Amino acid sequence: MMRLITLICLLAFVSACQMNPATSEEQSTQYFLVRHAEKGQDDPKDPSLTAFGEARAQLLADELSKAGITAIYSTGYKRTQQTAQPLADRLGVPVLTYDAKRDLTEFLQEVQMNHAGEKVLIVGHSNTVPNMANILTGTESYQQFDDADYNHLIIVTGSLGHGVVADLSISPCPVDTMQ
C-alpha cells in the first residue's frame, strides 16, 4: 500500500513538472496610452500644464487609481511628467522616464518584456500615442492627434502587433466652473 501511495505521489509530481504554465511573453499586457494634458505657454520648449490640464491629470488619476496599474512611463517633458505624477503619487509607484525620440517599437518591446501580464500607463504626445496604438494593434488606425485633442485614453490589451483596442474619452469640467 505504501508503495502505491509513493507511486501516485511520484506520478503527480512528474505530471506537475511537465505542465507548461503561461510564460511571461504569453501573458496579456494592458497598455493605457494617454497624451499629456493641456499645456500652457509658459515655456515654448517645455511648457507646464494649464489649470485645465492639471484638472485633467487629476481626473485621469481618479479614473485609473483602481485599474491595477503597476508601472507608469512618461517622457521627460514637464507636461507629461505632470500628467503622470498624480496617479504615481496615489499608487506609490515611480514615473519611469523614456525618450520621446526613441524608436517606439523597441520601447514597447522593452515594456512588454519588463511588464508582461501587467497594466502599464504610458504618457506621451500627440504623435507618439497614436503611433504606439498602431504598433500595439498592428494597424494604421490612428493618426497624429490635433493640437487641441487631449481627450483620448487608448487601452490596448495583448501583445505587440496583436492588441485589442478600446478608445475612451477623458474630459474634465471647464476650468471656470471649478471651485
Which one, of 17, 18, 3, 23, lies nearest residue 159 by Cα?
23
Show the cell assigned to 151: 481627450
User: What's the pLDDT at 26?
Assistant: 52
The confidence score (pLDDT) of residue 169 equals: 81
CATH number of 27-177: 3.40.50.1240
Enumerate the domain spans of the chain. Answer: 27-177
In angstroms, rounded to a whole number, what is the distance separating the alpha carbons of residues 38 and 36?
7
Contact 94, 70 (CB under 8 A): no
**What pLDDT does residue 171 have?**
72
Specify the pLDDT at position 173: 52
Predicted local distance difference test score (pLDDT) of residue 174: 52
| pLDDT block averages, 10 residues each, the chain of length 179 | 38 34 61 97 95 96 96 98 99 97 97 97 98 96 92 93 86 51
Q: Which residues pair with 73 in a beta bridge?
A: 96, 122
